[in-house]
Structures are given as C-alpha cells and as structure tokens.
Amino acid sequence: MYRHLRKTSDTPHLSTSPTDDLSTNRRAESRSSIEYASIPLPQKRSSEMADTARSRIATAGWWWEIGAVIVALICTSLTVAILFYMNGKSLAAWKLPIQPNSLVSVFSSIAKSALLVPVAECLGQLKWTYLDTSESRSLSQVQAFDDASRGPWGAMTLFWKTRKEPTPILALLGASVTILLLAFEPFAQQVIQFSTRNAAMVNATGSAVVVDHLPNVDPKAAMTYANLQFKLGVNGLIDGRSDILRDDGECPTNECRLPDYESLAMCATCQTEELNLDATPEGCLVNLTLAYDNDSIKYGDFRNISWQEFSAHYKNYTASVPAAISEDPGSVNISAKCVLRREDGLPATFTFIKVRDLFYTALDLNEDGLNTTGSFGTTNYTNNPEENTLGSRLNGCISAPRGPWIMAVTRVSLVAPFICIESVSDVTESAVDILKNFDFKVAWCNLDVCAQRYKNVTILNGNLEAMNTISEPLEKLNVSSPAGDYSLRTQAADSPTYTIGNDSTTWYANIVYDFAFDQRGLDDYFLMGADYLGGFQILGKVSTMLMQSRDSHSDLIYGSAYGLETFVRVRWGWFAMPLALEFLATLFLLLTALQSARKSYLFKSSPLALLFHGFEETKSNHQVVKDAQGRGAMTTKTRRDLHKRAEKYQVRLGADNNGDLRIMKVEEDRADQ
C-alpha cells in the first residue's frame, strides 16, 4: 500500500524494489558512517503528494475498511429487524431452523469481526503518523502500535507503553474501541430474553358439555349406570376430595378457557325456620297412652288432649289400672304429634314419642298415599349419664320420591323434596320436661332442575371450573310437545328454551333417595353437625355432573386450549453497547481517514512498509560476536532483545539523502549519552 514517486535529485522517494535498497546499502557499507538528515519536502511537491493521496483514498485506499463497516451495519440492521419482529411474540412464530438468539449471536460475531478490520488498519496507519512528526519517538513504540492493532491485549499495553510519551488521542480511541469490542457479543446476546407463559394453542381446543333438554330414560337403566358414580362423587365431596368425580370437561393441555355459557343443572335450595312446641300449639295434639301388655291381659287408657293442656298438666297425669296388674303397670307411652303445612312444601307430621326412659322422634309424610316415615334417633335415659346413647341432639331428613302427586301440586322442575329436623334443645337435660320445652329447626329443602350460567370458565388439569356460577330457576311455558315434555326458560331475556321430559328426572330422585336415606349416607353427614344446605348442595353438584355427562342428548361448547409457550422479550438497553461501539468504530475510521488524507503515504498495517522503509542501522553500531564455531552472530536474537535495543533509539519518519522515506534515527544511543 504505497505509492511510487519519480526519483529526483532534491526530493525523497520511495524505493521501488529491494534492489534499490541493496544498492543503497552497498553505498552505505563503502563509507565508515552515514548520517541521515531530515530533508523537508518542498511545498509544491507536498501539495501535489497530498492531492495524490486524497485521490488514492477516494479511489482505493479505504474501500476494504468502508466495506467492513457496511457489513457490520448490515448485520446490526438485520439484528434490529429480528428484534422488532420477535419482540413480544411466541417462539412458535419463528419459522427458520436456527433460533433467533443464535442468529443474533451469528450476526453480532460477524459485526464484531468486521469492525475489528477498520480499527486494526487505522491503528496500523496511526503507527506511521505517530512517527511522522518533528519530535523524536522511541523506536519501540512501533511495536506498541503494531501490538495494539492485533487485539485487545496489545491495545491495553499501548496505554502503558506510551504513558511517558505524548500519545495521539485518536490512537487511544482506537485502542479503547478494540478493548470494548470484547463486550460486543455478550451484550448483543443479552438483548433477547425468553419467558414461558400460557398462550392459545393453534388447532387445539377444549370443550365442555351443554345440556338444553332432558329426555325420558329408563330409571332402572340410568340408576344402574350412575349409582356407583353418584356414591363416589358424594362421598368424595364429603371427604373433601373433589377429584374422585370430575366435571366432564376435555382439554388437550393443562389449561383451556371457554366462553360464558348456560346449561341445565341441578340446584339445591333450603328454607329453615326455628319452632317451639309451646309457641306453636295450633295443629298439635298429644296422645297419652298407659298400656300393659302380657300374654293374658291387655289393658289400655288412651286420651287425646291439646298441646296446651298437655303442657300444663302432663306431670300430674294418672291412670286407673286393675289391682291385678298394679304392681307391674307395663309401659307408659307419651307421644306428641304436630302437623305443619307450607304452601311450597309437603305437609309434615312430627311425632315425638317417650316410652319410659326412651325418647325418639319421627317425621311422617302421609299425604295422598305418601306413607313415608323417618326416625331420627333414639336417646336412652338411665340413672348413669355415661350409659346414655346417641348424644344430646336428634336430627335427620326424609324425602318423598318424585311422582305424579309432586308434579301436580308443585313445579315441574322439582326433582325431590326433603324435610329435615334438628333439635335445638339438649334432650339429655331432663327426662321429664323433654316434651314441654322441646325446640327444633325445620328445613324444607328441594332439588330442582335449574339453569346455571357459567362465567370465566377454565379447565385446569382436567377440572372444569367457573369463577362465577349463577343459578336461575326455570319457569314453565304454555307449550308442550306431543310426548308430554315440558318447555321451560328463565326470566332472562336471552334465555334459551329448555325441554324436560315428564319422566326424565325420576331416576335422579330415586338415586338420591337410595343413597341419602336408605343407606343413611346423608344422615351420617348431618349427624356430624353439617348444615343442611351444604349437604344438599353436594347432592346437587354430583347430580349436575351426571346430568352434564357426554351422551347423545348433550351438546358441546368449545374454547381455546392454552399451553406453555416460550415468548421473546427484547431488552433494548443491552443493545446500547453494540450500537455505541459501531458508532465509535465508524467515527474512528472517519477521523483516521481524514488525518491520513494530508499524508503522502497510506501504509496502514502492511508489513511490507516496514521492510521497504524500516529502520536501518550501520555496521558501526553493531556489536559483532562469534559463536562457539567461530560464526558471526548478532546479539539481538529474541523479541525481547529487539525491544530493549529499540528503546535506545529516538526516531522519526523522514527522507534520507536519496529521497527514500525512512524511519530515521535522530540521536545517538542513549547508553552512550
């Protein structure tokens, strides 16, 4: 990278071939010493050379370095385009086989390598301009600049090796850029951050069952199918294990989100009130019985009195008995019956019976052939309280299976009515006053087919869950199908029309009755002190699960399936370092090119320039020694020897007597001073 100048008698010239240098060396050898003088360039020739240098720079001087900067800019632009495209998007949107972070790493490596080219060449050029001054420089600085152009370690040593001499700020800028380019790739790779979150999957959906009609089915067949499922579901909910029987939602991933929807379901309602027999005398009669029963004699004394009369005088009740049996009066039965009626529920007859020291209560349903009785417990009173059984309170429920009578006198959506009682009084306090001050709670509970609105519905790990569930009662419309099915809807304006078969819910009532009372499943739950509404809500929830199972009468509603996806997040702050380094490298190239435009040479980091125009030392300055074989050997054999020797010379760039551009010695060896 040098220019051939026409040789004249009064101007320095650049050697065109090693032969010229050899001839010059021969002339130098013929003389005992040679003194290089600084020959100033004429102003006219200097101007011409500067114009020629600028022309050379414009045509070919810095094209490789400019091209390297352009390559770095292209790679950086592609990196920015990737970052803008992928920021906030799922990694699935990336269609190339190479990952975006890997591609950013490739582009950053190319950009860094490309930027090192102009920086290294500029430092090589500054090596010559550093010597091209009126002041002398240490010859060892040539090595310092050369090391700086080779990598970060040499760039760091430049600061140390030139600390005692004035160093151009431009060279220090280039060394700093070389060092900082070490951070180019790490900072560029930190720009992309990956995070994992749920996102809608492509071509994947979840579904839940929507029921808008209940057809008539064979109750026996339905119970055979659902009996075990019902028992498992109720027992699981009572024990706090909702995973035993799950809502029938399907999701191919761990999470699906469904739109709000409405479906038929089973709802539980309970109305509770507290009663006291003393405060509720109307409709209550007391039947007092003194009876003796053995194999030979039957005797009875029966008397019906009002509750008020019984409350006031039952302690003084006496009966005449024959003398033959006066010593063994047999059993004395005292029973109190109270009939309670409600407009929206079944009529109930509560019977409280005391037989000697044994007390129990029963609830009868005796309306139009519904002869159903449930006994709620027995308390045995003895003189030893530790022998008393069952506890201090009596409670329980009874249900009337759904049938034509219920459908006729109540709403068509009613599946099964329940009546429950729970004693408030502690029946162990007194065996005598038990009937007088007996307080209890009565709960009228129903299971009805209803409409449920499900909002914010998700399927998590196979469990169908709704953040908000609204139950709405159904009202019968004045239309019916030829098969006798009922059409119902809610009061909401957008409510769909539902269809319920006239015998579609019988099996629900049968299965509830079979589990809850024939097998005492729900009685045991209530005896643990649970509330009635909570118990019937369990029955309603399990019945809803069975109702909303996937079969021929159900429809499906679909939603989006969500799965764990990797998303790209761009942290733009980390990209400031690569952009700044690219700017500094470009600025460094521009300033170096402008400074070199005023020079007659453009050697950059070419080693040929040192061969043609390097420092030459005469024989008188050499110390010739002989080796063991008598052969001549130079004392400077290693790089360290060269560096120590170079530190003794002060040089600058100038022209010798022949007009050749040389690194010229300015003064004698420092060791001789």
Residue 613 is predicted with a pLDDT of: 66
Q: How far apart are CA 350 and CA 425, in angstroms?
A: 16
Residue 506 is predicted with a pLDDT of: 76
Residue among 477, 490, 479, 419 nearest 450 (CA): 490
Q: How many residues does the chain have?
A: 673
Residue 20 is predicted with a pLDDT of: 45
Residue 492 is predicted with a pLDDT of: 86
Residue 544 is predicted with a pLDDT of: 86
Helix (H) or strand (E) holding 195: strand 192-210
In the chain, where are the structural domains located?
A: 18-191+574-672, 270-558
C-alpha distances in Å from residue 83, one per residue of 76, 78, 143, 182 = 10, 9, 42, 22
Residue 577 is predicted with a pLDDT of: 94
Instruction: Output phi, psi for 491, to 5 deg.
Output: -80, -10
Rg (CA), the chain: 54
Residue type, 560: S
pTM: 0.55
Residue 477 is predicted with a pLDDT of: 78
User: Which residue stretches of the chain have pLDDT < 50?
Assistant: 1-44, 57-59, 295-297, 299, 315, 325-330, 332, 356-360, 365-392, 403-409, 429-436, 618-622, 624-625, 632, 668-673
What is the token pair recorded at 643? 């560096």
Residue among 139, 125, 36 nearest 651 (CA): 139
Q: How far apart are CA 579 and CA 569, in angstroms?
A: 19
- Helix, strand, coil percentages in the chain from 3-state DSSP, rounded to 5: 40, 30, 35
Residue 387 is predicted with a pLDDT of: 43
CB proximity list for 170: less than 8 A, separation 6 or greater = 126, 588, 591, 592, 595
Q: How far apart are CA 203 and CA 312, in angstroms?
A: 79
Residue 204 is predicted with a pLDDT of: 87
Residue 24 is predicted with a pLDDT of: 41
Q: How far apart are CA 23 and CA 19, in angstroms?
A: 6
Residue 47 is predicted with a pLDDT of: 55
Q: How far apart are CA 414 and CA 218, in angstroms?
A: 19
Q: How far apart are CA 238 and CA 384, in angstroms?
A: 35
Say if CB 597 and CB 50 are below 8 A apart. Answer: yes
Neighbours of 130 (CB within 10 A): 23
